[in-house]
Structure 1
Amino acid sequence: MILVWLLIIFMAEFFHYQKTIYLNSFDLDDDGFFSGDEITPEQQQAMQRVSNDTGRALAPITGAIFSFIYNCVLFGIYAIFKKSR
């Protein structure tokens, strides 16, 4: 159960890291701020993707729910096969 939860958390962090690297590619002078020519429509879309990432914030909760359901199904299938033997 914990492995499934950790996988969900890892994937959420990985995708956030990918989005952040893409956003930072627009920071031409590497000062951590976007100004002047660095602000483009593409940069603004990348900023929206990074800042509106509710999925990453809720990943621990949804991950726990999905891993619990996933493991219940697996244990149920295992119990059915074990009982039929």
Structure 2
Amino acid sequence: MKLVTTLVALTLVSGVALAASAGKMDKNGDGKISKAEMMACDTTGDKILSSDELKACGFTADQIKMYDKNLDGSISASEMEAGG
């Protein structure tokens, strides 16, 4: 029984960590960051998320690496469409 309780606790903690990693970006709470959710962070309207916009929206370093394919520190519309 102790093992089952431990496994359930670990599963719950993992789920919380996954939800937290989506940060402020995941507006609908589905655990994924859609292009529409990303574009909501584009305060300049240039279809590029700058490092400042990414930070303001709560992007983690791992999320930036996942999308920023050309490693320029920003995420363009084409990088958003390509996905992580």
Query: Shorter-chain TM-score: which interval?
Result: 0.3 to 0.5
The structure carrying a bigger helix percent of its residues is: 1
User: What TM-score, normalized to structure 1?
Assistant: 0.33
User: What TM-score, normalized to structure 2?
Assistant: 0.33
Greater relative contact order structure (CA < 8 Å, 6+ sep): 1
Q: Name which one, 1 or 2, has greater alpha-carbon Rg.
A: 1
